[in-house]
Amino acid sequence: MTPERFEKLQKTLRRRQPDLRVLTDHVHKPHNIAAIVRTCDAMGIAHLHMVWPHDQFGHYGKTASGSDRWVTVHPHQTSLEAIQQQKKEGRKVIAAHFSDRAIDFRDYDYTQPTTLLLGQELFGVSDESADLCDEHVVIPMQGMVESFNVSVAAAIILSEAQRQRQQAGMFDELRLDQKEYETTLFQWAHP
């Protein structure tokens, strides 16, 4: 490994935002999962939670771009368990979801510890998951189709989160704890 490469690993880890996470709730198409993992890496997200029942979806495959090397993927068997874990760890869970209580995605404060929940390609966020979430956010639609592709919706919302955290200076300080920083650096540098 060149010194430049090692420095890039360090720089990336110094920007990671452990208290901004994504939770995919039964999203299952490989190209959507791949795009979401890649977007997470590029937006500084270290942890991706996936509700991914083994019996329904089979084994979670490696993504083409190799970006899953840079994002820790946490599989969960049920939405309930995944959402409860986020809350127990002190993060608000916000669903990207149309509902009566949904707010414009730009009106949410993403500098708070937050997990963004994304719904399934066809059926969206289930009623049970929606009920458990602290907030619902929507991206306004100007056209005839009713929704964005799920990886597109993720990217639009995360881009706003990234903008807010940038403005708040949250990419300028180490936000991983020292132990996670060192463990991850070691794993990345010695695959």
Ligand X SMILES: C[S@@+](CC[C@H](N)C(=O)[O-])C[C@H]1O[C@@H](n2cnc3c(N)ncnc32)[C@H](O)[C@@H]1O
Q: Residues in the site for its own copies, rule: CB under 8 A?
A: 8-9, 12, 15, 31, 34-35, 38-44, 65-67, 69-70, 106, 139, 141-145, 148-149, 151-152, 155-156, 159-160, 162-163, 171
Angle at 140 between CA 119 and CA 105, to 5 degrees: 65
Among 52, 63, 124, 170, binds ligand X (CB under 6 A): 124
Give the 3-state secondary structure of residue 47: strand
Q: Annotate each residue in 65-104 with x if it binds ligand X (CB under 6 A) or - if it does not, as one string.
A: -------------------------------xx-------
For the residues of 156-185, what is the DSSP string, one character each?
Answer: HHHHHHHHHHHHTTTTSS--S-HHHHHHHH
Residue range at the interface with ligand X (CB under 6 A); choices 14-22, 117-125, 127-135, 161-169: 117-125
Whose Cβ is closer to ligand X: residue 141's or residue 189's? Answer: 141
Contact 9, 103 (CB under 8 A): no
The C-alpha atoms of residue 180 and residue 19 are separated, in whole angstroms, by 13
Task: Give the pairing type, strands 135-138 and 20-25.
Answer: unpaired
Whose Cβ is closer to ligand X: residue 46's or residue 130's? Answer: 130
Contact 95, 43 (CB under 8 A): no
Whose Cβ is closer to ligand X: residue 148's or residue 181's? Answer: 148
Binder of residue 121, out of ligand X, its own copies, none (CB less than 5 to 8 A by kind): ligand X
The C-alpha atoms of residue 126 and residue 78 are separated, in whole angstroms, by 12
Binding residues vs ligand X (CB under 6 A): 96-97, 118-119, 121, 124-125, 138-139, 141, 147-148, 150, 153
